[in-house]
Amino acid sequence: MIFTVVFIVFQVLLALIAIYQFSLSLFGFLKNKSRKRHEPRKSFAVLVAAHNEEKVVGALIENLKKLDYPKELYDVFVICDNCTDGTAEIARSMGVYACERKNYHLRGKGYAIEWMLKELWSMPRQYDAVVMFDADNLVNPDFLRLMNDDLCEGHQVIQGYLDTKNPGDSWITAAYAITYWYCNRLWQLSRTNLKMSNFLGGTGMCFETNLLKEIGWGATSLVEDLEFSMRCVKRNVYPILNYDAKVYDEKPVSFRASARQRLRWMQGHFNVARNYFFPLLWAGIKERNLTKIDAAVYSVSVYNTLLGFLLTAVMWIDMAVPAPDVIHSVYNYLPWWLIAVAAAATVLQFPAAMMMEKVRNWKMYAHLLTLPFFLISWWPITFYAFFTQNNKTWSHTQHTRVVRIEEVQSK
Protein backbone atom coordinates (compact mmCIF):
# COMPACT_ATOMS: atom_id res chain seq x y z
CA MET A 1 0.00 0.00 0.00
CA ILE A 2 2.81 2.43 0.86
CA PHE A 3 4.59 1.62 -2.41
CA THR A 4 1.36 2.28 -4.34
CA VAL A 5 0.88 5.66 -2.66
CA VAL A 6 4.47 6.69 -3.44
CA PHE A 7 4.06 5.44 -7.01
CA ILE A 8 0.88 7.46 -7.54
CA VAL A 9 2.40 10.58 -5.95
CA PHE A 10 5.26 10.47 -8.47
CA GLN A 11 2.82 9.88 -11.33
CA VAL A 12 0.74 12.89 -10.25
CA LEU A 13 3.89 15.01 -9.99
CA LEU A 14 4.92 14.13 -13.55
CA ALA A 15 1.36 14.73 -14.76
CA LEU A 16 1.32 18.21 -13.19
CA ILE A 17 4.63 19.08 -14.88
CA ALA A 18 3.25 17.78 -18.20
CA ILE A 19 0.08 19.88 -17.78
CA TYR A 20 2.21 22.92 -16.99
CA GLN A 21 4.32 22.49 -20.12
CA PHE A 22 1.26 21.78 -22.27
CA SER A 23 -0.36 24.97 -20.97
CA LEU A 24 2.75 26.95 -21.88
CA SER A 25 2.85 25.38 -25.34
CA LEU A 26 -0.58 26.81 -26.17
CA PHE A 27 0.99 30.26 -26.25
CA GLY A 28 3.25 29.09 -29.07
CA PHE A 29 0.33 28.95 -31.48
CA LEU A 30 0.55 32.73 -31.82
CA LYS A 31 3.45 34.08 -33.85
CA ASN A 32 5.30 36.96 -32.24
CA LYS A 33 5.24 40.31 -33.99
CA SER A 34 8.21 41.38 -36.08
CA ARG A 35 10.82 43.39 -34.23
CA LYS A 36 11.84 46.94 -34.92
CA ARG A 37 14.58 47.18 -37.53
CA HIS A 38 17.79 49.18 -37.06
CA GLU A 39 20.59 50.20 -39.35
CA PRO A 40 23.77 48.09 -38.92
CA ARG A 41 25.61 49.55 -35.99
CA LYS A 42 26.90 46.82 -33.71
CA SER A 43 30.23 45.09 -34.35
CA PHE A 44 30.56 41.33 -33.95
CA ALA A 45 33.26 38.79 -33.17
CA VAL A 46 31.94 35.62 -34.81
CA LEU A 47 33.39 32.55 -33.06
CA VAL A 48 33.35 29.13 -34.71
CA ALA A 49 34.06 26.22 -32.35
CA ALA A 50 35.94 23.49 -34.23
CA HIS A 51 37.71 20.24 -33.37
CA ASN A 52 39.04 18.40 -36.45
CA GLU A 53 36.40 19.87 -38.76
CA GLU A 54 38.37 20.20 -42.01
CA LYS A 55 35.55 18.50 -43.92
CA VAL A 56 32.84 21.03 -43.08
CA VAL A 57 34.39 24.24 -41.73
CA GLY A 58 35.06 25.63 -45.22
CA ALA A 59 31.36 25.66 -46.13
CA LEU A 60 30.52 27.64 -42.98
CA ILE A 61 33.35 30.14 -43.49
CA GLU A 62 32.21 30.67 -47.08
CA ASN A 63 28.68 31.18 -45.75
CA LEU A 64 29.79 33.66 -43.05
CA LYS A 65 31.85 35.76 -45.46
CA LYS A 66 28.70 36.34 -47.55
CA LEU A 67 26.46 37.55 -44.72
CA ASP A 68 24.29 40.55 -45.51
CA TYR A 69 26.10 42.81 -43.06
CA PRO A 70 28.85 45.41 -43.49
CA LYS A 71 32.13 43.49 -43.68
CA GLU A 72 33.95 46.07 -41.57
CA LEU A 73 31.58 45.37 -38.67
CA TYR A 74 32.41 41.70 -38.11
CA ASP A 75 35.37 39.33 -38.02
CA VAL A 76 35.37 35.53 -38.02
CA PHE A 77 37.50 33.58 -35.55
CA VAL A 78 37.78 29.80 -35.87
CA ILE A 79 38.67 28.18 -32.53
CA CYS A 80 40.87 25.28 -33.61
CA ASP A 81 40.59 23.30 -30.39
CA ASN A 82 43.20 20.53 -30.13
CA CYS A 83 42.97 20.00 -33.90
CA THR A 84 45.20 17.42 -35.55
CA ASP A 85 43.90 17.94 -39.09
CA GLY A 86 43.85 20.84 -41.54
CA THR A 87 41.13 22.95 -39.88
CA ALA A 88 43.49 25.84 -39.07
CA GLU A 89 45.07 25.83 -42.54
CA ILE A 90 41.67 25.97 -44.22
CA ALA A 91 40.57 28.87 -42.02
CA ARG A 92 43.73 30.87 -42.80
CA SER A 93 43.50 30.15 -46.51
CA MET A 94 39.96 31.55 -46.53
CA GLY A 95 41.01 34.81 -44.89
CA VAL A 96 39.65 34.41 -41.36
CA TYR A 97 41.42 34.14 -38.01
CA ALA A 98 42.56 30.66 -36.99
CA CYS A 99 43.07 30.59 -33.22
CA GLU A 100 44.81 27.37 -32.20
CA ARG A 101 44.39 26.00 -28.69
CA LYS A 102 46.35 23.07 -27.29
CA ASN A 103 45.16 21.79 -23.93
CA TYR A 104 44.61 18.05 -23.59
CA HIS A 105 43.58 18.28 -19.93
CA LEU A 106 40.72 20.78 -20.21
CA ARG A 107 38.88 19.42 -23.21
CA GLY A 108 35.52 20.44 -24.57
CA LYS A 109 33.68 23.29 -26.16
CA GLY A 110 33.06 25.19 -22.92
CA TYR A 111 36.77 25.36 -22.11
CA ALA A 112 37.60 26.33 -25.70
CA ILE A 113 35.13 29.24 -25.59
CA GLU A 114 36.46 30.42 -22.24
CA TRP A 115 40.01 30.42 -23.64
CA MET A 116 38.96 32.23 -26.82
CA LEU A 117 37.15 34.98 -24.92
CA LYS A 118 40.30 35.73 -22.90
CA GLU A 119 42.23 35.94 -26.16
CA LEU A 120 39.56 38.19 -27.62
CA TRP A 121 39.60 40.63 -24.70
CA SER A 122 43.36 41.09 -25.11
CA MET A 123 43.14 42.04 -28.79
CA PRO A 124 43.43 45.68 -29.97
CA ARG A 125 39.98 45.67 -31.51
CA GLN A 126 36.99 45.23 -29.22
CA TYR A 127 33.53 44.23 -30.44
CA ASP A 128 30.04 45.11 -29.26
CA ALA A 129 28.92 41.48 -29.23
CA VAL A 130 30.10 37.90 -29.62
CA VAL A 131 28.27 35.37 -31.80
CA MET A 132 28.95 31.64 -31.54
CA PHE A 133 28.50 28.85 -34.08
CA ASP A 134 29.62 25.25 -34.45
CA ALA A 135 31.80 24.32 -37.41
CA ASP A 136 29.11 22.13 -39.00
CA ASN A 137 26.51 24.93 -39.04
CA LEU A 138 25.08 27.07 -41.80
CA VAL A 139 23.29 30.37 -41.25
CA ASN A 140 20.85 32.60 -43.10
CA PRO A 141 22.42 35.75 -44.63
CA ASP A 142 20.43 38.14 -42.42
CA PHE A 143 21.56 36.60 -39.11
CA LEU A 144 23.80 39.47 -37.97
CA ARG A 145 21.27 42.10 -39.04
CA LEU A 146 18.69 40.43 -36.81
CA MET A 147 21.16 40.21 -33.92
CA ASN A 148 21.94 43.91 -34.44
CA ASP A 149 18.23 44.73 -34.17
CA ASP A 150 17.88 42.94 -30.83
CA LEU A 151 21.08 44.42 -29.41
CA CYS A 152 19.93 47.91 -30.37
CA GLU A 153 16.70 47.19 -28.47
CA GLY A 154 18.72 46.52 -25.32
CA HIS A 155 18.78 42.72 -25.26
CA GLN A 156 21.96 41.09 -23.96
CA VAL A 157 21.63 37.38 -24.76
CA ILE A 158 19.93 36.19 -27.95
CA GLN A 159 19.30 32.71 -29.32
CA GLY A 160 18.65 32.13 -33.01
CA TYR A 161 16.14 29.67 -34.45
CA LEU A 162 17.76 26.23 -34.52
CA ASP A 163 16.95 24.14 -37.57
CA THR A 164 18.42 20.97 -39.10
CA LYS A 165 20.42 21.08 -42.30
CA ASN A 166 20.16 17.33 -43.07
CA PRO A 167 16.65 16.23 -41.98
CA GLY A 168 16.26 13.77 -44.84
CA ASP A 169 19.44 11.76 -44.28
CA SER A 170 17.90 9.11 -41.99
CA TRP A 171 15.05 8.46 -39.58
CA ILE A 172 17.34 9.76 -36.84
CA THR A 173 17.97 13.14 -38.49
CA ALA A 174 14.25 13.37 -39.27
CA ALA A 175 13.48 12.82 -35.57
CA TYR A 176 15.91 15.58 -34.62
CA ALA A 177 14.28 17.92 -37.14
CA ILE A 178 10.75 17.22 -35.87
CA THR A 179 11.75 17.74 -32.23
CA TYR A 180 13.54 20.98 -33.17
CA TRP A 181 10.45 22.31 -34.94
CA TYR A 182 8.37 21.33 -31.93
CA CYS A 183 10.73 22.93 -29.41
CA ASN A 184 11.16 26.14 -31.42
CA ARG A 185 7.43 26.63 -31.74
CA LEU A 186 5.91 25.20 -28.57
CA TRP A 187 8.74 25.62 -26.06
CA GLN A 188 10.78 28.61 -27.13
CA LEU A 189 8.19 30.79 -28.89
CA SER A 190 5.62 30.21 -26.15
CA ARG A 191 8.10 31.53 -23.58
CA THR A 192 8.86 34.48 -25.84
CA ASN A 193 5.17 35.36 -26.02
CA LEU A 194 4.90 35.10 -22.23
CA LYS A 195 8.01 37.30 -21.82
CA MET A 196 9.81 34.50 -19.99
CA SER A 197 13.40 33.42 -20.45
CA ASN A 198 14.37 31.35 -23.46
CA PHE A 199 17.07 28.72 -23.28
CA LEU A 200 20.29 28.68 -25.27
CA GLY A 201 20.79 25.87 -27.75
CA GLY A 202 24.58 25.62 -28.04
CA THR A 203 24.94 27.43 -31.35
CA GLY A 204 23.49 30.48 -33.09
CA MET A 205 23.96 32.43 -29.85
CA CYS A 206 24.72 36.13 -29.44
CA PHE A 207 26.06 37.79 -26.28
CA GLU A 208 26.65 41.43 -25.48
CA THR A 209 30.37 41.88 -24.82
CA ASN A 210 29.91 43.94 -21.65
CA LEU A 211 27.82 41.16 -20.10
CA LEU A 212 30.44 38.51 -20.92
CA LYS A 213 33.18 40.66 -19.46
CA GLU A 214 31.13 41.31 -16.35
CA ILE A 215 30.11 37.75 -15.46
CA GLY A 216 32.67 35.76 -17.45
CA TRP A 217 31.87 32.63 -19.42
CA GLY A 218 32.27 30.08 -16.63
CA ALA A 219 30.20 27.44 -18.46
CA THR A 220 32.49 24.45 -18.86
CA SER A 221 30.11 21.54 -18.31
CA LEU A 222 29.09 19.14 -21.09
CA VAL A 223 26.06 21.39 -21.74
CA GLU A 224 27.64 24.82 -21.60
CA ASP A 225 24.59 26.40 -23.27
CA LEU A 226 22.15 25.25 -20.58
CA GLU A 227 24.62 26.14 -17.84
CA PHE A 228 25.04 29.69 -19.13
CA SER A 229 21.26 30.02 -19.52
CA MET A 230 20.81 29.21 -15.84
CA ARG A 231 23.57 31.62 -14.81
CA CYS A 232 21.82 34.38 -16.77
CA VAL A 233 18.39 33.73 -15.26
CA LYS A 234 19.90 33.64 -11.78
CA ARG A 235 21.24 37.18 -12.44
CA ASN A 236 17.89 38.39 -13.87
CA VAL A 237 19.27 38.42 -17.43
CA TYR A 238 16.74 36.62 -19.62
CA PRO A 239 17.89 35.22 -22.99
CA ILE A 240 15.47 35.92 -25.82
CA LEU A 241 14.67 34.08 -29.04
CA ASN A 242 14.96 35.70 -32.45
CA TYR A 243 12.58 33.53 -34.42
CA ASP A 244 13.72 34.84 -37.80
CA ALA A 245 17.47 34.31 -37.30
CA LYS A 246 17.90 30.77 -38.63
CA VAL A 247 20.84 28.48 -37.98
CA TYR A 248 21.09 25.03 -39.54
CA ASP A 249 22.83 22.34 -37.50
CA GLU A 250 24.07 19.02 -38.85
CA LYS A 251 22.67 16.04 -36.95
CA PRO A 252 24.13 12.54 -36.53
CA VAL A 253 22.87 10.09 -39.13
CA SER A 254 23.24 6.84 -37.18
CA PHE A 255 21.51 5.83 -33.98
CA ARG A 256 24.84 5.01 -32.34
CA ALA A 257 26.29 8.48 -32.97
CA SER A 258 23.02 10.05 -31.86
CA ALA A 259 22.97 8.04 -28.63
CA ARG A 260 26.54 9.08 -27.86
CA GLN A 261 25.68 12.75 -28.40
CA ARG A 262 22.51 12.57 -26.32
CA LEU A 263 24.33 10.72 -23.55
CA ARG A 264 26.74 13.64 -23.28
CA TRP A 265 23.81 16.06 -23.16
CA MET A 266 22.08 14.11 -20.38
CA GLN A 267 25.27 13.73 -18.34
CA GLY A 268 25.77 17.48 -18.47
CA HIS A 269 22.08 18.12 -17.76
CA PHE A 270 22.27 16.15 -14.50
CA ASN A 271 25.17 18.34 -13.39
CA VAL A 272 23.30 21.54 -14.22
CA ALA A 273 20.18 20.31 -12.40
CA ARG A 274 22.24 19.51 -9.33
CA ASN A 275 23.80 22.99 -9.27
CA TYR A 276 20.87 25.22 -10.24
CA PHE A 277 17.51 23.61 -9.42
CA PHE A 278 17.22 24.48 -5.74
CA PRO A 279 18.85 27.95 -5.95
CA LEU A 280 16.56 28.98 -8.82
CA LEU A 281 13.46 27.43 -7.27
CA TRP A 282 14.09 29.13 -3.92
CA ALA A 283 14.85 32.47 -5.58
CA GLY A 284 11.71 32.16 -7.72
CA ILE A 285 9.48 31.45 -4.72
CA LYS A 286 11.11 34.15 -2.60
CA GLU A 287 10.87 36.78 -5.35
CA ARG A 288 7.54 35.50 -6.73
CA ASN A 289 9.31 35.23 -10.06
CA LEU A 290 7.68 32.71 -12.42
CA THR A 291 10.58 32.92 -14.87
CA LYS A 292 13.03 31.61 -12.29
CA ILE A 293 10.63 28.88 -11.22
CA ASP A 294 10.21 27.92 -14.88
CA ALA A 295 13.99 27.78 -15.33
CA ALA A 296 14.25 25.57 -12.24
CA VAL A 297 11.60 23.21 -13.62
CA TYR A 298 13.41 23.13 -16.96
CA SER A 299 16.76 22.40 -15.31
CA VAL A 300 15.32 19.37 -13.53
CA SER A 301 13.52 17.98 -16.60
CA VAL A 302 16.24 15.35 -16.95
CA TYR A 303 15.01 13.85 -13.68
CA ASN A 304 11.46 13.87 -15.08
CA THR A 305 12.68 11.70 -17.94
CA LEU A 306 14.49 9.38 -15.54
CA LEU A 307 11.48 9.11 -13.23
CA GLY A 308 9.13 8.52 -16.16
CA PHE A 309 11.34 5.67 -17.33
CA LEU A 310 11.47 4.05 -13.89
CA LEU A 311 7.71 4.32 -13.30
CA THR A 312 6.94 2.91 -16.76
CA ALA A 313 9.40 0.04 -16.24
CA VAL A 314 7.78 -0.83 -12.89
CA MET A 315 4.32 -0.82 -14.50
CA TRP A 316 5.46 -3.07 -17.34
CA ILE A 317 7.13 -5.50 -14.94
CA ASP A 318 4.06 -5.55 -12.71
CA MET A 319 1.82 -6.35 -15.69
CA ALA A 320 4.20 -9.00 -17.06
CA VAL A 321 4.65 -10.97 -13.84
CA PRO A 322 1.92 -13.66 -13.52
CA ALA A 323 0.90 -12.71 -9.99
CA PRO A 324 -1.61 -10.40 -8.28
CA ASP A 325 -0.93 -6.74 -9.01
CA VAL A 326 1.52 -5.27 -6.51
CA ILE A 327 0.80 -1.65 -7.37
CA HIS A 328 -2.07 0.41 -8.63
CA SER A 329 -1.49 3.17 -11.15
CA VAL A 330 -3.20 6.55 -11.10
CA TYR A 331 -4.65 5.50 -14.44
CA ASN A 332 -6.82 2.98 -12.59
CA TYR A 333 -8.71 5.89 -11.04
CA LEU A 334 -9.15 8.07 -14.14
CA PRO A 335 -11.89 7.78 -16.80
CA TRP A 336 -10.68 6.28 -20.07
CA TRP A 337 -11.72 9.32 -22.08
CA LEU A 338 -9.50 11.62 -20.03
CA ILE A 339 -6.51 9.36 -20.63
CA ALA A 340 -7.37 9.27 -24.36
CA VAL A 341 -7.61 13.08 -24.55
CA ALA A 342 -4.25 13.50 -22.76
CA ALA A 343 -2.57 10.99 -25.07
CA ALA A 344 -4.04 12.63 -28.19
CA ALA A 345 -2.99 16.10 -27.03
CA THR A 346 0.57 14.85 -26.50
CA VAL A 347 0.80 13.11 -29.87
CA LEU A 348 -0.84 15.85 -31.94
CA GLN A 349 1.55 18.55 -30.74
CA PHE A 350 4.25 17.31 -33.11
CA PRO A 351 2.28 17.41 -36.40
CA ALA A 352 0.66 20.66 -35.24
CA ALA A 353 4.09 22.25 -34.75
CA MET A 354 5.18 21.00 -38.18
CA MET A 355 2.15 22.50 -39.87
CA MET A 356 2.64 25.82 -38.12
CA GLU A 357 6.29 25.77 -39.19
CA LYS A 358 5.09 25.21 -42.78
CA VAL A 359 6.88 21.88 -43.27
CA ARG A 360 5.77 20.79 -46.73
CA ASN A 361 7.84 17.65 -47.21
CA TRP A 362 5.41 14.72 -46.83
CA LYS A 363 8.30 12.38 -45.97
CA MET A 364 8.84 14.34 -42.76
CA TYR A 365 5.22 13.67 -41.76
CA ALA A 366 5.74 9.97 -42.53
CA HIS A 367 8.63 10.01 -40.05
CA LEU A 368 6.12 10.79 -37.29
CA LEU A 369 5.65 7.01 -37.27
CA THR A 370 9.30 6.42 -36.34
CA LEU A 371 9.52 9.40 -33.97
CA PRO A 372 8.20 7.41 -30.93
CA PHE A 373 11.20 5.05 -31.15
CA PHE A 374 13.53 8.06 -30.99
CA LEU A 375 11.65 9.57 -28.05
CA ILE A 376 11.55 6.30 -26.10
CA SER A 377 15.28 5.83 -26.65
CA TRP A 378 15.85 8.86 -24.39
CA TRP A 379 14.81 6.69 -21.43
CA PRO A 380 17.69 4.19 -21.35
CA ILE A 381 20.14 6.92 -22.38
CA THR A 382 19.03 9.09 -19.45
CA PHE A 383 19.14 6.10 -17.09
CA TYR A 384 22.73 5.34 -18.07
CA ALA A 385 23.64 9.04 -17.90
CA PHE A 386 22.46 9.19 -14.29
CA PHE A 387 25.08 6.66 -13.25
CA THR A 388 27.83 8.21 -15.40
CA GLN A 389 27.06 11.90 -14.80
CA ASN A 390 30.48 12.54 -13.29
CA ASN A 391 32.10 11.51 -16.57
CA LYS A 392 32.95 14.86 -18.15
CA THR A 393 34.77 13.50 -21.19
CA TRP A 394 33.78 15.42 -24.30
CA SER A 395 32.63 13.13 -27.13
CA HIS A 396 33.17 14.60 -30.58
CA THR A 397 30.55 14.05 -33.28
CA GLN A 398 32.15 13.33 -36.65
CA HIS A 399 30.97 15.45 -39.60
CA THR A 400 31.93 14.41 -43.11
CA ARG A 401 29.15 15.58 -45.44
CA VAL A 402 29.53 19.01 -47.04
CA VAL A 403 26.27 20.96 -47.45
CA ARG A 404 26.10 24.60 -48.50
CA ILE A 405 23.54 27.20 -47.55
CA GLU A 406 22.15 27.33 -51.11
CA GLU A 407 21.26 23.64 -50.90
CA VAL A 408 19.49 24.05 -47.57
CA GLN A 409 17.48 27.07 -48.67
CA SER A 410 16.38 25.36 -51.90
CA LYS A 411 14.69 22.49 -50.05
For residue 282, give the 3-state DSSP assignment: helix
52-86 burial code (b ≥16 CB/10 A, e <16): bbbbbbbbbbebbeebebeeeebbbbbbbbbbeeb
Asked if CATH classification 3.30.450.20 holds for the domain at 8-29+38-411, the reply, yes or no, is no
Domain ranges for the chain, please list them.
8-29+38-411
Count of positions (residues) in the chain: 411
Predicted confidence at residue 252, as pLDDT, reads 92
Amino acid present at 109: K
* 318-372 residue pLDDT tens: 777 766 656 677 777 788 888 899 889 889 999 999 999 999 999 999 999 999 9
- The closest of 170, 187, 324, 330 to 257, measured between CA atoms, is 170
DSSP 390: T
- pLDDT tens per residue across all 411 residues of the chain: 677 788 888 889 999 999 999 999 999 998 867 778 999 999 999 999 999 999 999 999 999 999 999 999 999 999 999 999 999 999 999 999 999 999 888 888 889 999 999 999 999 999 999 999 999 999 999 999 999 999 999 999 999 999 999 999 999 999 999 999 999 999 999 999 999 999 999 999 999 999 999 999 988 888 889 999 999 999 999 999 999 999 999 999 999 999 999 999 999 999 999 999 999 999 999 999 999 999 999 999 999 999 999 988 888 887 777 666 566 777 777 888 888 998 898 899 999 999 999 999 999 999 999 999 999 999 999 999 999 988 776 666 666 666 766 666 655
Provide the phi-psi class of 34: left if phi over 0, else alpha when psi is between -120 and 50, else beta.
beta
Q: How far apart (Å, rounded) are the C-alpha atoms in residues 339 and 344?
A: 9
Question: How many CB atoms are located within 10 Å of the residue 406 CB?
Answer: 9
Give the pTM: 0.91
Task: Compute the distance between CA of residue 198 and CA of residue 160 in angstroms, rounded to an integer.
Answer: 11
DSSP-assigned letters across all residues of 156-179: SEEEEEEEES-TTS-HHHHHHHHH
Structure confidence at residue 399 (pLDDT): 66
